[in-house]
Amino acid sequence: MTELLKVSSLVTRLNNGPRIVDDISFSIKQGETFALLGESGCGKSMTALSLMRLLPGGIHIESGTVQLDEADILALPERIMREVRGGKMAMIFQEPGLSLNPVMTVGDQIAEALELHHELHDAAVRARCVELLDQVGIPDAARRLNEYPFQLSGGMKQRVMIAMALAGEPKLLIADEPTTALDVTIQAQVLQLLRDTQAQTGMALLLITHDLGVVSEMAHQVAVMYAGHIVEQATREQLFASPAHPYTQKLFAALPDAALGGQPLAAIPGSVPPLHDIPKGCRFAPRCDKAWALCHEQAPEWTKLAEGQGVRCHLYGEGRWEKREGEAILSRADAPPSPASGRGAGGEDKLLQVSDLKVHFPIRKGILQRTAGHVKAVDGLSLEIQQGRTLALVGESGCGKTTVGKALLQLIRPTAGSVCYAGNNLVGLDAQQLREQRAGMQMVFQDPYASLNPKMRVAEILQEGMDALAIGNNGAERQRRIDELLDQVGLAQAAKWRYPHEFSGGQRQRIAIARALAVNPKLLICDEPTSALDVSVQAQILNLLKSLQQELRLSYLFITHNLAVVEYLAHEVCVMYLGRIVERGTAADVLHNAQHPYTRALLSAVPRIDGRGMEVIRLAGDMPSPANPPQGCHFHPRCVHADAVCRSVYPAATNSSTTHAVHCHLYGGER
């Protein structure tokens, strides 16, 4: 195999500013998948844009060479470069919804690329478009050509993006976080598609991702990036068998896993250093527990380990073997014994009891705004949470899980059903009565960047709830409480007088948690609190949530799509599909003995870093619209086991054990 792309000593920097991509070298062979792995802000996307020479204003390539097929990309005139883009290398982006032009039909957008690179016309273009859409697995391609992006689902849009990228028959496809915005089942489809396409066309793939699971499924070669440097490069097998750089090791350790039980995750303290404040010496040194004086003074050189594996770390310099071995043993031993395991510690009293909750949004049509139908976002949901326990509500986007969270807090008024918190039904209370109950239940939101008012200082943010619910008698008492809260969530008290934008994502999420805790709630509704965060920061937040639960005997309703997090944190799990719970049980029941076909598909679609994992069940198609759910079992159009009964009758709950229930005809009495 020949080397298709060869990048050597590439440096990209802000004009007169810091280096964003710092001395990067790698090469990709034909037909190979090269993964660039790293947290946000590490320079992964900038590397990709440098290769395409599509850097935004104010950033330029300072030095280095990029060779694609023997041609020096950085020396080409712009006119030829335009042919290279799309023709030899193509790129697909993270957010499929934003990378398609909303006012052009899908066909026109693909045709645009085709006409540029192949000089095809009219009928030939159309035929090729259909062919491309077929290739990326879009059913009924000829009809889809005339549709607009808004008529397609997220997964479909990403497929169209891939089709557009393939239109120029590129030799190298750069995929910048292609599945981050997609659900796991859709992610599995897209990754499979990328693999199939690669096998067919023999193109090389540069995959940019932060997800170790995706890397383990896709990559042949992996480079780990940190603060502009590649800190480690290896084949997938080498990397997953023996990660060399402390950062890589930490990334693996930070992944939540049920096997850890009650132990805290090995979070990496701090966050990626900002560009203008890159430490002297090794860039990872401030967060590295193996760092010693040298690490802080001198930047490590690239050290070659085995064939194909290299690392940028002082530990692998000459004569450092002993140090490394000693440290490694130590680091494994210092994991503290798990403190009184959170599991089973819950009391018997039911803190929250929800029965038959329904949230329907009317669809209005016509001039008179008559109700033409309902979007049944939540349709008859029941659950209960005991004090000190965690219930995870799992489902893909659009299944109504966020609506559940808001309906519980009465931010959205439920259409029917009851929400009993500590024995009081909250549904139908007026604003005043509701306020008396507010303190008990609070919410932590998904996006720490949107959940804090940018114009208020931390102290004001924390005080707001206390003021509204009259907690604490006077100003001084509240200030004391604020200090206490900041301590609790692991922030310095000086943080009080700062504005939210001065904090990183993880710190902001800590502030959001402190805000919720300010009113002494017993139940926290966490709506995907870690999905906007990097893996290492996610571990910090999960650890915090877990320790708060043990300290304060909090209950959590943990709304998420991330099954790994569920495994680590939850006592009980409910799986939601299209507004209804399809399977419920203890974490062990649901995750290790899943019964509903949907749960199984969901579990199998999660990319695993250890390569174990069960036989993969691919789900066809997307989730149907909640405005028009299918007859019978909601899942039957995507289910391989579906038969006539499934198509006509919604299955009742079947208990397979005292804690485990499933809504599926497969387990019903009649089968």
Partner 1 sequence: MMPVILWTDALIFLLIAVGLTSAWWIRQRPHLMLPWQRVAKSSVGMVSLLVLSLFVLVGLLDTLHYRVALPEKNNGQTVYSPEVLSAFDALASGLRSRTEKTYSAPLAAYLYAKESLETPDGKVLRDYPRLKFGGAHLGDPQHELVGDVVKWALMGALGGLLVGAVVITVILVSFRRKPESSDVKELRSRQGEDVVPLRRAGLRGWIPALAGMTSAGPLRALLIATLIIAALIGAVANLSTAYHVLGTDKVGQDVLYLSLKSIRTGLVIGTVTTLVMLPFALLFGIAAGYLRGWVDDAIQYVYTVLSSIPSVLLIAAAVLMMQVVIEMHGDWFQTSAARADVRLLALCMILGVTSWTGLCRLLRGETLKLREQEYIQAAQAFGVSSFRILTRHIVPNVMHIVLISVVMDFSALVLAEAVLSYVGVGVDPTTISFGTMINAARLEMGRDPMVWWALAAAFSFMLVLVLAANLFADAVRDAFDPRLNRTEGAK
451 binds partner 1 (CB under 8 A): yes
Residues 284-343 that bind partner 1 (CB under 8 A): none
497-516 binders of partner 1 (CB under 8 A) = 497-499, 501-502, 512, 515-516
Query: Closer to partner 1 at the Cβ: 501 or 612?
Result: 501
User: 318, 454, 615, 670: which one contacts partner 1 (CB under 8 A)?
Assistant: 454
CB of 166 within 8 A of CB of 132? yes
Provide the 8-state DSSP code for 207.
E
123 is a site residue for partner 1 (CB under 8 A): no
Nearer Cβ to partner 1, position 491 or 512? 512
Question: Which residues within the stretch 342-381 sit at the binding site for partner 1 (CB under 8 A)?
Answer: none
CB 465 to partner 1: min, Å = 4
In this structure, what token pair is assigned to residue 364? 């209005």
**Residue 438 interacts with partner 1 (CB under 8 A): yes or no:** yes
Which of 469, 645, 653, 666 binds partner 1 (CB under 8 A)? It is 469
Residue 73 DSSP label: G
Q: Please tell me the total number of residues recorded for the chain in this structure.
A: 671
**What x-and-dash track marks residues 409-428 binding partner 1 by CB under 8 A?**
x-x-----------------
Select from 288-296, 441-449, 591-599, 661-669 the region that touches partner 1 (CB under 8 A): 441-449
Exactly one of 75, 330, 468, 620 binds partner 1 (CB under 8 A); that residue is 468
What's the min distance (Å) between Cβ of 635 and partner 1? 30
> At closest approach, how far in Å is the CB of 524 from partner 1?
11
- Contact between 494 and partner 1 (CB under 8 A)? yes
Question: Alpha-carbon distance 152 to 187, whole Å?
Answer: 16
Closest CB 360 distance from partner 1, rounded Å: 18
Cα separation of 506 and 597, whole Å? 35
User: Is residue 59 near partner 1 by the rule CB under 8 A?
Assistant: no
Report helix, strand or coil for 257: coil
325: which 2 tokens? Answer: 């071995």
**354, 408 contact by CB (below 8 A):** yes
Contacts of residues 263-267 at CB distance under 8 Å and 24 or more positions apart, as own/partner, are: 263/335, 263/336, 263/338, 264/336, 264/543, 264/546, 264/547, 265/539, 265/542, 265/543, 265/568, 266/335, 266/539, 267/536, 267/537, 267/539, 267/540, 267/542, 267/543
> Which DSSP symbol is given to 150?
G
CB of 504 to partner 1, least distance (A): 13
Q: Who contacts 334 (Cβ-Cβ below 8 Å, separation ≥6)?
A: none
SS3 of 89, please? strand
Query: Which residue's CB is nearer to partner 1, number 75 or number 468?
Result: 468
Q: For residue 28, give the DSSP letter.
A: E
For tokens 């299918």, name the residue: 630
- Amino acid (1-letter code) at residue 252: F
Minimum Å gap between C-beta 429 and partner 1 is 11
Would the CA dihedral through 306, 304, 31, 155 be positive or negative? Answer: positive
* Identity of the residue, 471 or 588, whose beta carbon is nearer to partner 1 in the bound complex: 471
Backbone angles phi, psi at 265, to 5 degrees: -75, 155
For partner 1, the binding residue among 162, 207, 443, 594 (CB under 8 A) is 443
Ordered alpha helix ranges (H), 148-227: 154-167, 184-201, 212-218
Rounded to whole angstroms, how far apart are CA atoms 445 and 490?
19
Nearer to partner 1, 392 or 452 (CB): 452
Q: How far is the CB of 367 from partner 1 (least distance, A)?
A: 14
Q: Which is nearer to partner 1, 174 or 514 (CB)?
A: 514
Segment lying near partner 1 (by CB under 8 A), choices 96-104, 221-229, 391-399, 456-464: 456-464
Strands (E), 409-500: 416-421, 424-425, 441-444
Could you say which residues in the range 518-547 bind partner 1, by CB under 8 A?
Answer: 519
| Site membership for partner 1, residue 476 (CB under 8 A) | no
- Region from 287-295, 322-330, 429-437, 584-592 binding partner 1, contact rule CB under 8 A: 429-437
DSSP letters spanning 114-132: HHHHH---HHHHHHHHHHH
- Out of 3, 112, 327, 447, which residue is the one contacting partner 1 (CB under 8 A)? 447
Decide whether 66 or 461 has the Cβ nearer to partner 1: 461
How far apart are the C-alpha atoms of 219 and 458, rounded to whole Å?
Answer: 42
Instruction: List the beta bridge partners of residue 241.
Output: none
* All residues at 6 or more sequence positions from 470 whose CB lies less than 8 Å from its CB, including other chains: none
The total of other beta-carbon atoms located within 10 Å of residue 629's CB is 19
Q: Distance between CA 246 and CA 252 in Å, rounded? A: 10
Residue 446 found at the interface with partner 1 (CB under 8 A) = yes
Q: How many residues sit in the footprint of partner 1 (CB under 8 A)?
A: 36
- The amino acid sitting at 253 is A
Cβ–Cβ contacts within 10 Å for residue 333, how many? 7
Asked if 450 is part of the footprint of partner 1 (rule: CB under 8 A), the reply reads: yes
Does residue number 431 form part of the binding site for partner 1 (CB under 8 A)? yes
Judged by CB under 8 A, which of 304, 364, 370, 435 binds partner 1?
Answer: 435
User: Could you tell me the smallest distance in angstroms from the CB atom of residue 276 to partner 1?
Assistant: 11
Q: In the complex, what is the shortest distance from the CB of residue 498 to partner 1, in angstroms, rounded to a whole number?
A: 5
Q: Which stretch binds partner 1 (CB under 8 A): 97-105, 237-245, 288-296, 452-460?
A: 452-460
Q: Give the shortest CB-60-to-partner 1 separation in angstroms.
A: 24
Select 512 or 573, whichever has its Cβ closest to partner 1: 512
The contact set with partner 1 (CB under 8 A) reads 406, 409, 411, 431, 434-435, 438, 441-443, 445-447, 450-457, 461, 464-465, 468-469, 494, 497-499, 501-502, 512, 515-516, 519
